[in-house]
A and B are shown apart, each in its own frame.
Chain A
Amino acid sequence: SQQGEEDPQALSIQEGENATMNCSYKTSINNLQWYRQNSGRGLVHLILIRSNEREKHSGRLRVTLDTSKKSSSLLITASRAADTASYFCATDDTGGFKTIFGAGTRLFVKA
């Protein structure tokens, strides 16, 4: 069963705009990760945020985590056409071995 659920399912924006994707989960987590998948490729890890962290940055990416609401958001600033991809959130089970992926948000950035 899926732990993380992304919202929206699909997002279309103009190049230069910001893109925000949200993820909600059901049970306590050790950490939450965001991955990107370009069409026809494997997933690529973007950023990991631990349960005791509230915000993390990596280049144009900003991730927030609200454990009280069991939700996370991924913000991509100044989007580029190359950011067009599917974005997945993933959470670990309490053992830390198993990562459960959500259904993903499909982002399309128009040039």
Chain B
Amino acid sequence: DAGVIQSPRHEVTEMGQEVTLRCKPISGHNSLFWYRQTMMRGLELLIYFNNNVPIDDSGMPEDRFSAKMPNASFSTLKIQPSEPRDSAVYFCASTHQGQFSEQFFGPGTRLTVL
């Protein structure tokens, strides 16, 4: 299995631009999580999906952030417009519900907003 795939691995953009991060979960997994990691705040859960449905988006910081999961094999996290304080590493993780939530993480996308 290829594991969780994220793209791009690195993104540098200017303030005000739209940023789209992509994630392909492990085949057969039906829960997907988006996290943000910074030195100051650690690892924060932004949103998670179960069977493609958003279950809890309370971690999404602002309306500038949105996430979709149109099918079981693809999810996006969009920031529009981006701000310098959005600079962080964004991780996607997936798991198979019922297996006590062992999560498999992708390699992350390092986002820098100038």
* A42 close to B (CB within 8 Å): yes
| Stretch of B14-22, B69-77, B79-87, B98-106 contacting A (4+ beta carbons < 8 Å) | B98-106
A31 and B106 contact, CB distance less than 8 A: no
CB-defined interface of A81-111 with B at 8 Å, one 1/0 digit per residue? 0000000100010001111111110000000
Contact count band on B: 20 to 34
* A61 close to B (CB within 8 Å): no
Q: A97-B55, A98-B56 are in contact. Are A45 and B45 (CB under 8 A)?
A: no
Contact count band on A: 20 to 34
B104 and A45 contact, CB distance less than 8 A: yes
Chain B residues proximal to chain A, CB less than 8 Å: 4, 31, 33, 35, 42-43, 45, 48, 50, 55-56, 91, 93, 97, 100-108
Can you offer 24 A-B residue contacts whose CB atoms are under 8 A?
Answer: A41-B107, A41-B108, A42-B4, A42-B106, A42-B108, A43-B93, A43-B103, A43-B105, A44-B105, A48-B100, A96-B100, A96-B101, A97-B31, A97-B48, A97-B55, A97-B56, A98-B48, A99-B33, A99-B45, A100-B45, A101-B35, A102-B42, A103-B42, A104-B42
A45 and B42 contact, CB distance less than 8 A: no
A-B pairs, top 7 by smallest CB distance, nearest first, are: A42-B105, A101-B43, A43-B105, A103-B42, A45-B102, A31-B100, A42-B107
Measured CA separation A103–B102 after assembly (Å): 18
A97 and B91 contact, CB distance less than 8 A: no
- Residues from chain A with a CB closer than 8 A to the CB of B48 are 97-98
CB-based nearest B residue for A49 = B100
B42 and A48 contact, CB distance less than 8 A: no
